[in-house]
Amino acid sequence: MRIYERYFARQIYLTFIFILFAFSGLFFFFDLINELNSVGHGNYKFQYAVLRVALQTPSRFYEIIPVAALISAIYVFAQMAANSEYTIFRVSGLATNRALRSLLKIGIPLVILTYIIGEVVGPYTDQLSERVRLEALGSSVSSNFESGVWVKDTLTARADGEQVTRFVNVGQLQPDATISNVRIYEFDSKFRLSNVRIAKSGKYQPPGHWMLTDVTDTQLIDVAPDAGKPTDALNPVYRAKQVTLPEYSLRSELTPQILSVLLVAPERMSMFNLFRYIQHLTENHQDTQRYEIALWRKLLYPFAVFVMLVLSLPFAYLHTRAGVVGMKVFGGIMLGMSFQLFNTLFSHIGNLNTWPAPLTAATPALIYLVLGLVGLKWVDRH
């Protein structure tokens, strides 16, 4: 890096670290206040609330990094403009396009850091955070349905290659990914109910099997109608054969990773887990819109650092008489918050209107990128 690039980088990185921890501390305080509502229930004590919120800090870092990059760059450039340092750089031959390239080069480590936190650290600590809370409360994960969680499972399970479809009802999903109060309704390729299994509990055994315990297996067998009576497709006759088993190994496409989506919101899952879950939903002909938008947002969000740095550069061309440093930083905070709000709002709008996921995820960043380039061109001319 050139000497002036190292100077820019040192100033921006130091300010970035301070702003990142300042904002995360503020969010930590608000999250802890929100968590106090659960303190006192079960074994959920204050120290568990602090631990849970602390484990959510990496995800807060992930959300804050682009805004922190914007504010830190604006602060550094505003200080340089106030001290006429940036004017000296321009007189020395620092063109606008070269300054922009240097700024984007400085943003590369921040983009890499965002990817690492969003893909490795954040999803793992979020699951740990949810498990700490659930184990302390002594509760289990469940959906909004009183009957529990419903999952569709389609696979080729028989020797003749016939495809079977299962609808799996999990009454309770424990934080350690064990399941209980399980009901499995299995249909043949003609969508006729062929088997009903009820199990007290289940534990995953890789690869691709669930070990169910205390199983009641009810097999429904077609009964041939009497020769003198016409067949009624809407009222079939079955013969039930029921077997009780202490254990039963069930082959399934469902994995704890697929069920773990109930522990973490799609926006906080890793791209790998999102991709696997989208594949599962697609194979079972279910809607994937929300998860596709989350996947593309995870893919493109780190590049928002570049967009924020582009937005910050025009502030270097505004002299002190155009506004004090504090006003410029305040404007940067408002600009960063507006980007976060617009990005979240646009995702919900795209989900409701079933817009293409790449377009929904990329549009807010593209709009702010154009805004930054237009502002940079305007200040450069004036």
Q: So what's the pLDDT on residue 302?
A: 93
pLDDT score, position 225: 64
Among 222, 242, 5, 208, residue whose Cα is nearest residue 100: 5
Task: Specify whether the CB–CB gap between 65 and 153 falls below 8 A.
Answer: no
pLDDT value, residue 235: 64
Query: Which pLDDT does position 161 carry in this prediction?
Result: 61
Kindly report the pTM of this predicted structure. Answer: 0.75
**How many C-beta neighbours within 10 Å does residue 235 have?**
6
Q: What share of the chain is helix, strand, coil (3-state, %, to 5)?
A: 60, 20, 25
Question: Which positions of the chain have pLDDT values less than 50?
Answer: 142, 322
pLDDT at residue 39, rounded to an integer? 85
Give the total residue count for the chain: 382
pLDDT, position 322: 47
Give pairs for 180-185: CB < 8 Å, separation 24+.
180/140, 181/148, 182/212, 184/250
Whether a cis peptide bond, with omega within 30° of 0, leads into 236 is no
Residue 109 has a pLDDT of 95
pLDDT of residue 265: 74
